[in-house]
Chain A
Amino acid sequence: MFNFLNREVKAIIGDSSLISSVLIYFIIAISVVNFVLSGMTSMIAVIAGSVFSWIILLLISVNFGYQIYFRDFLDGSIDKILLSGCSLMLFMLIKLFVHWVFIVLPLGILSALNIKILLNSPLSYSMIFSLAVFSTFIIACFISFSTLIAFRAKLGNMLLGIISIPLLMPLLIFISAVSISQQLPYNIEAIFRILSGSCLVLLVVIPFINSLIIKEVGE
């Protein structure tokens, strides 16, 4: 397990082109959001800022997440891992975890900090932070298996895009949460429960599905 973890962490930290591309993309996008929000009233700005931040995370996940999963196919190491008899499910779980920790989660936290600094709203800050922790994992899960299907099916980004549509679900949940919380703050707990439950289910289901995709779908 630590062998895989060590490899994935080194691979992602060593990929300076990926990290810099993600950061540049994020900075440009968040600057545009801040510019747009500066002309809005506080209530609308909270909702719009949150939604925009989510869209940015979504786009970054779709545009950059696939590189992490493609690497093993392109360099041929997935063949060796498959034949080594080790747990493919564990391997996929670690890939997913490292992708989430190093790419998606930091950007989720940065988005939350941005809203906090820009709007000075404790409610939106805590909400975005908490939702970032749960929902970015859901995004990472969807990205991982849609990428694998797209790669194996050799249909490219179009299929990836179509399969990634479920990614919009956390966004919709988030919009509902923001709207509801303005009147009934305790409903947020229910949203968190749903999100954390989904994360736990996906934690088991996604690596399993991913390993099946690799094993069962021929080239």
Chain B
Amino acid sequence: MILPINLNVSDLLVKRGEIPLIQSFSVNLVPHDCCMLTGPNGSGKTTLLRTIAGLLKPSGGKVDLNTDSESKPMIAYHGHQDALTEQMTVIENLIFYQKLYKSDSGQMDSLIQKFAIDYLNQPVSQLSAGQKKRASLCCHFLTKASLWIFDEPATNLDQNSINVLTQEIEKLKDSGAIVLIATHSPQIYSYISNLNVSLEP
């Protein structure tokens, strides 16, 4: 069960050194919203997503996650890196995240089937970029978050995996989560996103 939240970003300012990367950015998102973030390289998409996730401190403005419940809403962030331990096998990584997120093994098995991960016992260091990405997404979807942030999730994926990814994102959206996706391929998510924000460098 996903905890419904509202995301309010107001007048956000993020600087790197003295250079402002994001200026006066505001957005309000409610449950079932899927926001697509586009823009050329260096426009600050990743910085914005990391700030909204709470991984970077803004220089100004506010990021609020409002909920009626007293429990703290969870955020799921999928960045450029795969977040897999190279020295461990795929299944060991999956079990680590399953325990970390306290999700059930049935959910993990279902995701393994969907993403067609038939290399469970291979060390991550021996996988191709696409295989790593699929395993990484599988780990990511084990979370039970209210706000889902994806930074170019379709990179290195084949068409079948992209279809599974968009289906999973659509499910999240339908279940009441807020989804934020940064991408250079807006056509992939155009049918699930209801908001498109374009950033300029």
Residue numbers of A with Cβ under 8 A of B are: 3, 6-7, 10-15, 71, 74-77, 79-86, 218-219
Contact = CB atoms under 8 A, between A and B. Distances in A.
Given A3-B100, A84-B100, A85-B72, A79 B77 contact: yes
B171 interface: no
B82 A76 contact: yes
Contacts of B72: 85
Given A75-B81, A83-B53, A83-B74, A10 B100 contact: no
B86 interface: yes
A83 B56 contact: no
Contact of A79 (B83, B88, B97): B83
Contacts of A79: 53, 55, 77, 79, 83
Interface of B: 50, 53-57, 72, 74-77, 79-88, 92, 96-97, 99-101, 123, 139-140, 143
18 contacts: A3-B100, A7-B88, A7-B96, A10-B85, A10-B87, A14-B87, A75-B83, A76-B81, A76-B82, A79-B79, A80-B97, A80-B100, A80-B139, A83-B77, A84-B74, A84-B101, A218-B56, A219-B50
Contacts of A82: 55
A218 B81 contact: no
Contacts of A81: 100
A11 B85 contact: yes
Contacts of B92: 7, 10
